[in-house]
Amino acid sequence: MIKGTTTQKALSCLVACAILAASCGDTKKSDVAEGTYVKLAEYMELEIKRLQTQDPTVEKSVFNKDEGETKQLKIKDWAAELATFVAADINKTANKGLYKVENVDCKTTYTALEPNLHTQKIIVYENHSGKIDSLYIQKMTNNLLYDSQEELSYYPDSAYKIVKEQDIFVLGNKQYKIEGKIKKEL
């Protein structure tokens, strides 16, 4: 009787693990198995087209160190507004094998294995149907002229944020932050 109970517990645990593993969809797993990474540029291009078509009002705040300004406006060129997200794409043949991929529940993390890679980390959060809920990106550039660190966040239909710090050889340290809150049109 004890042996049957242990077997039932093991079987129940195995079934629960299989359900959890499959709950976020299989598309990510097959992409990783094929040696490709998140198709960030493709995803962002679709978002740019959608936002360009919808033409939502944005509450945009721009901060330069401690000074800031906030305005309600329509973004005329979403491709330019979100270009830094597109530029963070790592799904290129030259990047094959240069990122560690970790899947935990509905979160996939791509971490650079080399410090000289421009995009150091991408975290993709998905809902249970596989739709992207949010993106977090860390970018870094180090060269003789300047060092820069950038953190990007994107929430579809809701907001985006770009935080950048640059240490420029002759000009010194510059920091800025851009936050955009996408207004829901009724």
What's the mean pLDDT when you consider all of the chain?
84
SS3 state of residue 91: coil
Q: What is the pLDDT of residues 83-119, one digit of tens each?
A: 999 999 999 888 999 999 999 999 999 999 999 999 9
> Are 86 and 78 in contact, with CB atoms under 8 Å apart?
no
The predicted structure's pLDDT at residue 76: 96
Domain boundaries, the chain: 25-182
| pLDDT number for residue 1 | 43
DSSP for 101-164, written as a single string: EEEETTEEEEEESSTT-SEEEEEEEE-TTS-EEEEEEEEEEE-SSEEEEEEEEEETTTEEEEEE
- pLDDT of amino acid 35: 53
pTM above the 0.85 mark? no
pLDDT average, residue stretch 66-74 = 92
Residue 75 carries which DSSP code? Answer: -
